[in-house]
């Protein structure tokens, strides 16, 4: 069984601060609608960073149609809310299996 060590952030700014100082995580799971901005902006920031450009991202959203272009199927997936746990687990497995 794999062990996970989640780190939480209340908003995009807190996520960026945590990601700047910690080793690159195995996965980032932001919501598209963050209190201080758009999860797509956080995704762009991750992809633009030398240390974070290959970190898998599972973007959660209620606006899947507007977010579909963000998914590349390899390092980034979009999961529409509401979702069931099996869909969430399948997306996590797909992103972390490489």
pLDDT given for residue 84 in this prediction:
95
Residues 31 and 7: beta-carbon distance below 8 Å: no
pLDDT given for residue 73 in this prediction:
73
State pLDDT tens for residues 75-92: 899 999 999 999 999 999
pTM of the entire predicted model:
0.89
> Going from the N-terminus, what domains does the chain have, and what CATH number goes with each?
12-96 (3.40.50.2300)
Distance between CA atoms of 61 and 74, rounded to whole angstroms?
A: 18
7 conformational bin, left if phi > 0, alpha if psi -120 to 50, beta if neither = beta
Distance between CA atoms of 87 and 93, rounded to whole angstroms?
A: 10
Q: Which stretch of DSSP H or E encloses residue 15?
A: helix 12-21
């Amino acid at each position: 069984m794999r062990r996970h060590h989640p780190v939480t952030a209340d908003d995009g700014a807190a996520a960026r601060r945590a990601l700047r100082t910690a080793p690159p995580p195995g996965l980032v799971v932001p919501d598209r609608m963050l209190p201080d901005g758009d999860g797509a902006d956080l995704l762009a920031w991750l992809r633009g960073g030398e240390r974070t450009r290959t970190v898998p991202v599972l973007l959660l959203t209620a606006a899947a149609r507007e977010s579909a272009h963000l998914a590349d199927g390899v390092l980034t997936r979009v999961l529409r809310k509401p979702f069931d746990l099996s869909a969430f687990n399948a997306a996590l497995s797909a992103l972390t299996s490489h």
